[in-house]
Structure 1
Amino acid sequence: MHARTASTSRLPITSDADLAWVRQHVRQAAAEAGFNLVQQTKLVTATSELARNTLVHGGGGHMEATPLREGVARGLRLSFVDSGPGIRDPEQAMTDGYSTGGGLGMGLSGAKRLVQEFTLESSPGHGTTVTITDWVSGVPSPRTGAP
């Protein structure tokens, strides 16, 4: 799927105050894209977990937020980037119940379940990038014919 993108926002994740700002930015961007309240809450919950991981485990980094448009569909792509120690065993890190503490206790696998698309790129010593994409659901199809 080749989505047209609008301008990307880049927000630092270097403190607890940044975590609050990142969550607020994502909620506002999701609302502007047309996500309903339940979708917004899921996206902000995933954001909270991934931003905290970026801060706590990655030593800080940034989030890139890009509004998407594919035809009439609208979405949001969020990338959480750090240059920390990386994830030694990404497969284990994606296991339900796996946690090294500090987050909401849902881990990467919980964040993945909250969104439609999830990618994890990490290698020891080279940092981690987690990218999530979610699309507004319930967009009506174009009407054809008479009512």
Structure 2
Amino acid sequence: MCLKPAVVLLSFFLLSALSLGQTTLAVDDEPAYLARIELHTAAELYDLLQRSQRLFQLSQQAPATPVAFVLHGAEAKVFFRQQYTANQALVDLAAKLSAFKVVDIRVCKTWMGGQSLDESQLLPFIGTVPVGVAEERRLLERQGYNYF
């Protein structure tokens, strides 16, 4: 079996970028990834988006399954219309990656309710999930996603 150098390089990059305990690669399938958000800051979110962009640039094509971003903390506030000006670079990168189907960003409705944030004020490329933690668990346990 002969692999193209770009595929080998991308595979090496992906494997080295993930924690080894979380990696479950299927032989015939391209893995799916869930962004691991721990600090819940805009800076952390921007770093993860830039990392997703680098993967896209290396492979020259969108992944078979976009990198899932499930937001349920303060980082989600950047995707509300009134925050666009303050977070323009981050939001523009997220919109571009979303348009190219590199990432899929969703915000927790339960978290929004607790913050008194109106879902109608989310930017148009941002989706929602009922409960963020439950969605993360579903992606990891039932859909076979790996942390990114």
Name the TM-score class by shorter chain. 0.3 to 0.5
Higher share of residues assigned strand:
1
Report which of the two has the higher share of helix.
2
Give me the TM-score of the superposition, normalised by structure 1: 0.33
